[in-house]
Amino acid sequence: MRSEENTISGAQIEVRSLTKHFGPVKAVDALSFTAQPGSFVTLLGPSGSGKTTTLNIIAGFESPTSGEVLLDSKPITLIPTYKRNIGMVFQNYALFPHMTVSQNVAYPLQMRSVQKSLIHERIRDALQMVQLEGFEKRYPRQLSGGQQQRVAIARALVFNPPLLLMDEPLGALDKKLREQMQIEIKHIQNQTGVTVVYVTHDQEEALVMSDKIIILNHGRLQQIGNPREIYDQPQNRFVADFIGETNLFEAKIRHENSRSVVALHELGATLDLPVNRSFAAGKCHVSIRPEMLWLENKAHKRSGIEGRIEELIYIGESTKYIVNVRNKHVVIRHPKRVDRGLFKKGDQVVLWFNIADMVFIDGETP
Amino acid sequence: MKSRISIPGAQEKPRRSIDPTFYLILPLLVLLIFFMVVPVFRIFALSFFDPDFTIKHYMKFFQAGIYLQILLRTLVISLMVSVCCLIAGYPVSYLMADVSPKTAKILIILVILPLWTGILVRTYAWMVLLGRQGLVNKLLIYLDLVAEPIKLLYTTKAVVLAMVQILLPLMILPLYATMKGIDRDLLKASKILGAGPLRTFWRIFLPLSTPGILAGFTLVFIISIAFFITPALVGGRKDIMIAMLIESQITTLLNWGFAAALSLILMTMTLIIIGLFHKFIGINRFVGSGDT
């Protein structure tokens, strides 16, 4: 282990009002964000949200219609791809099929005219980092998906780039392997200190891996924040709905005397709001996560929001209920610890939640 | 439906039935046996029995220098044609694989359009173009590049030129197919790893396009070797190719035995050259990039 020599000082990457048009389509629309040196930043969004286009512009495969990309404060938009000194892992790995593992890993070093004796050493270190010693002479087609993934990472990092781009690198792997690789990629990133810009459509993956998540939809920025902020305080309905699972209710806040109340007409409930916070009167939306709700048997509680269990889905570590409240479906998740299998399909139940767990989402952003 | 019911024990009998997919190749197999395998054996027999066993036809071929010379000439012309086709066809295929599907479709039509015209027609067209009073000479004189009409027709160059024009689609199509199959992400990967366009071409694109080069080269070479009409019409007295020799042995001299021997020698030479070529380039390295 020669970790000290392998340490890369990650670069800062800044994207400034980046816009890319494909004909009439705005693939990326005035996107700005900054990734601090050594941080793990994820571009998250559904397909067609512009996340891959953004990555392609950073890599230099596409040129932006307007806007700038700065690497350590230097604009790189006009520098050709091969001079940018950025590492990249592709979705399908893009290993050269006519080269062995060690030839693949040597490739970026040969392009940089690294001495032959040094190349050998660096290949060994890089393969050690991804735990692929002994596979030097194999061809990519002789490796499993996970092993190909490791070669791709070794090849992208062997020349110590300050920035690593990853385009849905785990998309082709099965769930178990994907979770293992997530941890391993984080480990390698911590070890090397490289700045990572990661693209995925998998919100769980984004939550697990990122220091900062940038949520995109239709090329437009929806929200930037760390995983906790993104999950706990979604700023609009798209983010609330896209990240995890949630129940969205139409709500109306009004002031009565010295207190504020919120009317959730879909649930037929009007609730007092805490006095220690101020709320603007008017229409808004309320998001309540399924795991923040719980059920009581109607026989035991006489008041509350009433509904009937329409579906019961046993997931193992939790049980998911779909409850019909005035013809609106509300999703509730009971962790195993509190759910003892007392509820059946068709049961009349009462719905409970803490008022503090309501997330108010203003505006009508689609 | 009855056949679907499985009776235990009945299945222990080894299945003797032929794989039904075999019947799909049956028509072609019959055709090949009667019009390919049988004639080849007939020719083989013709060359060795006249009417008793003899090797005199082969002796004649190897003793009189002229026949070896014709064989060599055939191989040289075929090689020149194949190389020229490759040089002319590679950039076209590259372009076709790179442009939008719509443009590629137009280019493909332009490439295969000449294939719909007969070889004889195209050869005559070259005669018109290259003759003493042909378009090319007239243009050269008009541009004051030459004073007198120069000899273009009935030269080796004319043979190669006409054959390249005729065989070019057979080079372009397999090249295009191979290049189309090259994953564009590999080129992107090469660039982000620090290789400029030229090095990306040499290290990645060219090696990955070799199966296409090999296929196109083989196709053009094999067909060139047996070319007959074009060298006969636009070539000079020196430009006799082996197919022309075989034809004259049969139609003019009625020497079937010698013609059969020539045919077998030609076939053997072709097989040897193709074999060497494949071994040299090493096609096996590139096939089957997917599964192990």
| Half-sphere CA count of B1, side-chain side, radius 13 A | 0
Quote the mean pLDDT of chain A.
90
Q: From CA A224, how far away is CA A39, in angstroms rounded? A: 14
pLDDT at res. A37: 95
A75 and A69 Cβ atoms separated by less than 8 Å: yes
Q: What is the crossing angle of helices B119-130 and B156-180, to 10°?
A: 130
Q: Kindly determine whether residue A82 and residue B290, on different chains, have CB atoms separated by under 8 Å.
A: no
Using a pLDDT cut of 70, give the percent of chain B over it: 90
- Work out the angle between the directed axes of helices B65-98 and B256-281 (0-180°, nearest 10): 40
**C-beta atoms of B195 and A94 within 8 A:** no
One of 1.10.3720.10, 3.30.750.24, 1.10.287.1080, 3.40.50.300 is the CATH number of B53-291, namely 1.10.3720.10
CB burial readout B181-207, b (16+ within 10 A) else e: ebbebbbbbbbbbbbeeebbbebbbeb
State the burial class of residue A325 (Cβ atoms within 10 Å of its Cβ: 0-12, 13-18, 19+): buried
Query: Beta strands A74-75 and A66-71: pairing type?
Result: antiparallel
Average pLDDT over residues A183-206: 94
What would the mean pLDDT of A224-246 be, rounded to a whole number?
92
Q: What is the pLDDT of residue A205?
A: 93
| pLDDT one-digit tens code per residue, A6-25 | 556 889 999 999 999 999 99
Report the pLDDT value the prediction gives residue B282, as an integer from 0 to 100: 57
Contacts of B208 in chain A (CB under 8 A): 97-98
Asked if B208's CB is within 8 angstroms of A97's CB, the reply is: yes
The closest CB to that of A141, out of B188, B190, B288, belongs to: B288
Using beta carbons and an 8 Å cutoff, which residues of A are at the interface with B? 59-61, 80-88, 90-92, 94-98, 107-108, 111-112, 140-142, 155-156, 159, 165
**Total-model pTM:** 0.82
Cβ pair B292:A142 closer than 8 A: yes
pLDDT at B16: 65
| Residue pair A294/A338 in contact by the 8 Å Cβ criterion | yes
Q: What is the CA radius of gyration of chain B?
A: 25
Q: How close A16 gets to chain B, by Cα (Å)?
A: 22
Chain B interface disruption, residue of A89, A105, A107, most B CBs within 10 A: A107
Choose among B198, B1, B54: nearest CA to A82: B198
CA–CA–CA angle A38, A239, A176 (5° rounding): 60
Please, are residues A176 and A207 in contact by the beta-carbon 8 Å criterion?
no
Of the residues B184, B192, B200, B281, the best mutation for testing chain A's interface (the one with the most A CB atoms within 10 Å of its CB) is B192
B286, exposed or middle or buried, with CB in 10 Å at 0-12, 13-18, 19+?
Answer: middle
For A335-344, the pLDDT digits (tens) are 988 887 788 8
A21 in helix, strand or coil? strand
Neighbouring C-beta atoms of residue B108, cutoff 10 Å: 15
Nearest CA among A187, A228, A190, A238 for reference residue A206: A228
Q: What is the pLDDT of residue B2?
A: 42
User: Taking CB atoms and an 8 Å limit, are B194 and A159 in contact across chains?
Assistant: yes
Tracing tokens 């195209």 back to the chain, one arrives at B122
Which of B100, B182, B193, B198 is the mutation pick for testing A, counting most A CBs within 10 A? B193
Amino acid identity of A361?
A: I
b (16+ CB within 10 A) / e for B43-56: beebbbebeeeeee
- Find chain A residues with C-beta within 8 A of B287's C-beta: none
Q: Which of A82, A97, A140 sits opposite B195 (nearest CB)?
A: A82
Chain A residue numbers touching B196 (CB-CB < 8 A):
80, 82
B183 shares contact with chain A (CB less than 8 Å): yes
Nearest chain A residue (CA) to B282 = A98
Does A60 contact B191 at a Cβ distance shorter than 8 Å? yes
> Could you say which of A83, A94, A112 has the minimum Cβ distance to residue B189?
A94
Q: Which helix (H) or strand (E) holds A211?
A: none
What phi and psi values does residue A208 have, to the nearest 5 degrees?
A: -65, -40
Using the beta-carbon criterion (under 8 Å), do A141 and B292 form an inter-chain contact? yes
Give the C-alpha separation, A54 to A71, whole Å.
Answer: 14
Convert the pLDDT of each residue in B259-274 to its tens digit: 999 999 988 988 888 8
Which residue from B183, B194, B208 is facing A111, i.e. has the nearest CB?
A: B194
Nearest to A235 by CA among A366, A362, A364, A51: A362
Q: Which of B183, B203, B289 sits opposite A94 (nearest CB)?
A: B183
Predicted confidence band of residue B168 (pLDDT cuts 50, 70, 90): very high
Q: Is the pLDDT of residue B4 over 80?
A: no
Could A141 and B190 be called an inter-chain contact, meaning their C-beta atoms sit closer than 8 Å?
no
* Chain B residues lying within 8 Å of A82, measured CB to CB: 191-196, 200
- Asked whether the predicted pLDDT for residue B284 surpasses 60, the reply is no
Report how far residue A341's alpha carbon sits from residue A15's, in angstroms, rounded to the nearest whole number: 51
Min Cα–Cα distance to chain B from A204, Å: 27
Distance CA A81, CA A155 (A): 16
Could you give the CA distance from residue A52 to residue B245 in angstroms, rounded to a whole number? 63
Count CB pairs under 8 A between chains A and B: 73
Reported as half-sphere exposure (CB side, CA atoms, 13 A), residue B274 has a value of 17
- State pLDDT tens for residues A104-140: 999 999 999 999 999 999 999 999 999 999 999 999 9
- In the predicted model, is pLDDT for residue A2 greater than 50? no
Omega before B39 cis (within 30°)? Answer: no
Nearest to B193 among A60, A92, A107 (CB): A107
- Where is pLDDT greater, at B17 or A84? A84
Task: For Cα atoms A243, A247, A252, give the angle at the middle one, nearest 5 degrees.
Answer: 115
Indicate the SS3 state at residue B20: coil
CB contact under 8 A, B185 and A112: no
Domain range list for chain B: 53-291
Instruction: Give the B window 199-218 contacts with A, CB below 8 Å.
Output: 199-200, 203-204, 207-208
Q: What's at B161, amino acid-wise?
A: L
Taking alpha carbons only, the member of B227, B226, B224, B269 closest to residue B86 is B224
b/e sequence B74-83, b meaning 16+ C-beta within 10 Å: bbebbbbbbe
Residue B223 to residue A202: CA distance in whole angstroms: 55
ipTM of the assembly?
A: 0.85
Q: Count Cα atoms within 13 angstroms, Cβ side, for A114.
A: 19
Q: How far is A14 from chain B (nearest CA, A)?
A: 19
**pLDDT band (50, 70, 90) for residue A179:** very high
Residue A188 has pLDDT above 70, yes or no: yes
Question: Looking at beta carbons, which residues of chain B come within 8 Å of A87?
Answer: 192
Torsion angle in degrees (nearest 10) through CA of A198, A199, A203, A206:
0
As given in the structure block, the two tokens for residue B79 are 């090689």
Task: Count the alpha carbons within 13 Å of B35 in the hemisphere toward its beta carbon.
Answer: 6
Query: Cα torsion for A223, A226, A229, A235, to the nearest 10°?
Result: 0
Residue of B nearest to A108 (CA): B193
Q: What is the CA radius of gyration of chain A?
A: 25
How far, in Å, CA of B83 to CA of B75, rounded? 12
Any A CB within 8 A of B282 CB:
no
Report phi then psi at B49, rounded to 5.
Answer: -120, 125
Q: What is the C-alpha to C-alpha distance for residues A321 and A311, in angstroms, rounded to an integer?
A: 6
Over residues A254-303, the pLDDT tens digits come to: 888 778 888 898 888 888 887 777 778 888 899 999 999 999 887 776 67
Question: A157 exposed, middle or buried (CB, 10 Å; 0-12, 13-18, 19+)?
Answer: buried
- Is some CB atom of chain A closer than 8 A to the CB atom of B182? no
* Contact between B207 and A98 using a beta-carbon 8 Å cutoff: yes
Q: For residues A85-106, give the mean pLDDT.
A: 95
* Residues B125-159 pLDDT 10s: 999 999 888 888 889 888 988 888 888 889 889 99
**Would the CB atoms of B194 and A112 count as touching at under 8 Å?**
yes
